[in-house]
Structure 1
C-alpha cells in the first residue's frame, strides 16, 4: 500500500483520538455492556444491543486510525527550507485576481481537510493547482464554479 501524506498536526490528532477510544471509550463501553448483561435476557435487552453496536463502531474506528497511521508518511514542513515553492503541508496565501479577495489555505491530507478551517485537501482542485508552483506565480485553477485566476502572494512552511 502506498504511503499517504499527513501533516504532523494531523498525525497528532489521530493519535489523540486513538488514545481516547482505547483508554476512555473502550472501558466505558465494556462497563455499559456489563451493566446491561445484569439486566437479564439479552435477546430483548435494548441497552445491551446499543452498547454492543457502539463497541463495534468504536473498534472499527480504532482499526481505521491504526491503519491510517501505519500507512502515513508524516511530513513536517517546519524542518524544510522555504524556497517559496508550494508543497504538501505549506500554508499558502492566494489572491483572486478578479475579486482582489485574498485567502490563506494550508495543504493537508484528505483526512485532515476542513474547508471551514482553511485546511485544503491535497487532492482538491485548488491544492492540485497550487502544488509545485512558486511565490508570485499567477495561475488559473479549474474549480467546480469555473476557471479562476490567482496570484500566490505568500508561501509559509509553518
Structure 2
C-alpha cells in the first residue's frame, strides 16, 4: 500500500477540502441536476450536462482525497531530532554558489506543494538533491539549465 507523506497542515487542508466537497459542493450540484431535469429534454440540456460533469469531478476528487487520507503518513517535523539534517517537513535555506542568491523552501508532500509560496514537493529534483544532507553541506542539483551547486545555509524544524 502506497503511503502519502504529509505535514499536519497538509492533512488538515485535505480534510477541510473533503468537508467542503461533501457538505457544500455535492448538495449544490445535486440541486443543480434536479433543477436542470425539470427543464425537460436531457439530450439537449446544456445545464444538465454541465452539472453532471461537475458531479463527476466532485465525486472523483472526494474518492482521491479519501484514498490519500486513508494512507497518509503524517510527519510532524517539530517532533523530530533537530540535528541540522534535511528531512521531510524542514524549511531549508540554500545559496547558489555561482550567483550567491539565497532561497528558502519548505519540503512537503505532493498535495501540499506550491512553488509560489516556496513549498516544494519531496519528489522534486531540488528536494531529492537536498534530502539527507546537513547544514553546511554542498548539494549538486540537476536543473533544466544544467547542474547547479548549492550550499545548505540553514535547516529549520518549524
Secondary structure at the counterpart of residue 68 of structure 1: helix
In 1: Cα distance, 2:46 partner to 2:123 partner: 42
Asked if 1:101 corresponds to 2:107, the answer is no
In 1: Cα distance, 2:144 partner to 2:119 partner: 18
In 1: Cα distance, 2:98 partner to 2:49 partner: 57
For residue 46 of structure 2, what is the aligned residue in structure 1? 46
User: Once superposed, what is the RMSD of the aligned Cα atoms?
Assistant: 1.1
Structure 2 gap segments, 5+ residues each: none
For residue 89 of structure 2, what is the aligned residue in structure 1? 89
Aligned pairs (5 A) from 1:63-78: 63-78=63-78
In 1: Cα distance, 2:131 partner to 2:54 partner: 40
Asked if 1:4 corresponds to 2:4, the answer is yes
Q: So what's the TM-score if we normalise by structure 1?
A: 0.95
Secondary structure at the counterpart of residue 148 of structure 1: strand
Aligned pairs (5 A) from 1:141-152: 141-152=141-152
Structure 1 gap segments, 5+ residues each: none
Q: So what's the TM-score if we normalise by structure 2?
A: 0.95
For residue 118 of structure 2, what is the aligned residue in structure 1? 118
Q: How many positions carry a matched residue from both structures?
A: 158
In 1: Cα distance, 2:44 partner to 2:128 partner: 53
Q: What are the Cα deviations for residues 104-154 of structure 1, in whole angstroms up to 9, with x where unaligned? A: 000111222111111111111111111000011122222221111111111
In 2: Cα distance, 1:18 partner to 1:84 partner: 35
